């Protein structure tokens, strides 16, 4: 039987607990999960792509299919973190994945997500999108809100992991 490979794409600028919750939920469902960070020069980001990759790798305990585990844990299938540019469907072909995983929070996500799912399927009929609901407490969480709340001195306890908090402090201290 062929390997079940899924891609979880996003900007992850920065990754927050809603994203991490989704990764943990879908890891056991696939043999291999590729967390894919979009390289988008047109979009102004707080963290560089390399920094985002480094943070996510640190948090998910990247585990390659053949190469064993970095964390030795048993939290599901192999998980790896890569960046991609261009069309998501082309990246899906490159890694041999059929499934795109996306989180659905409030109804406001629905229209945009459905549009993307339909377009991706039109571009590559092999690709299916699977929507997953995050834990209720992360339903309103977004990377943009994380940046805004942090920049205004709000408390993000329980919403972002410590390595992200530390990097946010460093970035905003630099001004």
Query: Which residues are known to be catalytic?
Result: 19, 43, 105, 143
- The span from the CA of 75 to the CA of 144, in Å, is 28
Nearer Cβ to ligand PNS (78/120): 120
What is the Cα Rg of the chain in Å?
Answer: 16
Nearer Cβ to ligand PNS (67/86): 86
User: What is the DSSP code string of 14-62?
Assistant: T--HHHHHHHHHHGGGSSEEEEEEE--TTS--SS-HHHHHHHHHHHHT-
Nearer Cβ to ligand PNS (73/135): 135
Query: C-beta of 83: minimal distance to ligand PNS in Å?
Result: 11
Query: C-beta of 87: minimal distance to ligand PNS in Å?
Result: 4
At a CB cut-off of 8 Å and minimum separation 6, what does 40 contact? 11, 85
Query: C-beta of 15: minimal distance to ligand PNS in Å?
Result: 10
Contact residues for ligand PNS, defined by CB under 6 A: 9-11, 38, 87-88, 116, 119-120
């Amino acid at each position: 039987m062929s390997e079940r490979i899924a891609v979880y794409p996003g900007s992850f600028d920065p990754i927050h607990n809603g994203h991490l919750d989704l990764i943990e939920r879908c890891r056991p469902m696939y043999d291999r999960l590729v967390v894919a960070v979009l390289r988008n020069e047109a979009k102004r980001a707080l963290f560089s792509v390399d920094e985002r990759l480094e943070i996510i790798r640190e948090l998910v305990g990247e585990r390659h299919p053949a190469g064993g585990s970095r964390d030795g844990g048993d939290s599901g299938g192999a998980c790896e973190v890569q960046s991609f540019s261009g069309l998501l469907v082309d990246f899906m072909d490159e890694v041999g994945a059929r499934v795109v995983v996306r989180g659905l929070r409030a109804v406001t996500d629905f229209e945009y997500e459905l549009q993307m799912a339909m377009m991706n399927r039109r571009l590559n009929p092999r690709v299916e999108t699977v929507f997953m609901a995050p834990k209720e407490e992360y339903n309103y969480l977004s990377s943009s809100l994380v940046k805004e709340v942090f920049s205004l001195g709000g408390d993000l306890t329980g919403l972002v992991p410590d390595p992200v908090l530390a990097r946010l402090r460093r970035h905003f201290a630099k001004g």
